[in-house]
A = this chain, B = another copy of it.
């Protein structure tokens, strides 16, 4: 996978331009007393969907869907209810058949509570099979 040239750590809020705001819900907590770890996957998804489907700069080629094939979450701090978080999302790698989004979840004080990497592919909506990333999509991703 060819490098996208963006090597700033995902714990650095200054490395992100795309942001999604989220707020913890009471049901996000678990019996340990903190925000359940699977909620981080949900928050990263919120940021990812917001990044991929932003109406102002559509990325998805007609007749195709983005599908996640790998998710890595590094849990850096416990989070508690109530609280708000910001999720930063940016492209960190771009290949011929997949691309990787890097994400950071930051608390209200700006501290990184988790970082994530998502490898995505493009599939044909009908056949559900992965296809090479079209040139225009690659260009739009690189321009972000």
Contacts and interface: CB of A to CB of B under 8 A. Distances in A.
Interface stretch (A27-35, A92-100, A103-111, A135-143): A27-35
A68 to B, nearest CB: 5
B27 A25 contact: no
Main secondary structure of the interface of A (DSSP, over half): mixed
Contacts of A60: none
Contacts of A131: none
A105 to B, nearest CB: 13
Given A22-B23, A22-B25, A23-B22, A42 B33 contact: no
Interface in A55-70: 65, 67-70
Interface in A14-39: 21-23, 25-27, 29-34, 36-39
Nearest to A28: B30
A136 B141 CA distance: 50
A40 B128 CA distance: 19
A43 B27 CA distance: 9
B81 A74 contact: no
Interface of A: 21-23, 25-27, 29-34, 36-43, 45-46, 49-50, 65, 67-75, 78, 81-82, 128
